[in-house]
Amino acid sequence: MDHRPSHRRLESDCPTGRLMSEARWTITHEAQLAGSDGEPLAMALAADLASRGLLRSQTHNWDDRITVATSADGRIVGVICWRLNKWNRAAFISLGGTAPTFRRQGAYRALFEALVSEIRANHAEVEHIDSGHHIDNAASAAMHKALGRKLDSLGYSFPISRTDLEGRP
């Protein structure tokens, strides 16, 4: 039983949708990533992306919200870390993914559908969900497309270094 007062848990038995309709996950929405049941998986996913050069910098914050999928035997299957951005009336997905042994079983679809339901029910101010991925992350691009997300912008980065544009210190 979770006795942490900073976490609000909403549990629903959510079908995984089109990919594997017979599987079911328990979906919980927690008010804070730090200390949540999904935190270890979120950190492992971030470390994996970073080790493969697919995470330029830390995108998630300790105070992001987190949506967690759990299997019937209590294993954490997947997570979506997200935050409300009032300035542009959006929810922003800062990190998401599934544990390697649960990939391609519909868990992330279930998480995303549960997040959409949570936002529709409890965050009337939100008009859209924003997210992104590293330009070389083909798996993430395919997942975004499969979930019906539309590519609407590109981002550019300019690294600040200790040298000038010609490479002089």
pLDDT digits (tens, 9 = 90+) for 75-114: 999 999 999 999 889 898 889 999 999 988 888 889 989 9
List the Cα angle 26/31/35 in 5-degree steps.
85
**Neighbouring residues of 8: CB distance < 8 A, sequence distance ≥ 6:** 29, 30, 31
Q: Supply φ then ψ for residue 43, to 5 degrees.
A: -70, -40
pLDDT in tens, the chain (169 residues): 333 333 333 334 433 332 232 358 899 999 999 999 999 999 998 888 888 776 766 677 788 999 999 999 999 999 999 999 998 898 988 899 999 999 888 888 899 899 999 999 999 898 888 776 666 666 766 776 777 777 666 666 655 666 666 666 6
Let me know: does 103 contact 143? Beta carbons within 8 Å.
no
Determine which helix (DSSP H) or strand (DSSP E) holds 39, and give its type and residue range: helix 39-51
Structural domains of the chain sorted by starting position, each given as residue range(s) with its CATH number in brackets: 11-146 (3.40.630.30)
The pLDDT value given to residue 52? 77
What's this model's pTM, rounded to 2 decimal places? 0.73
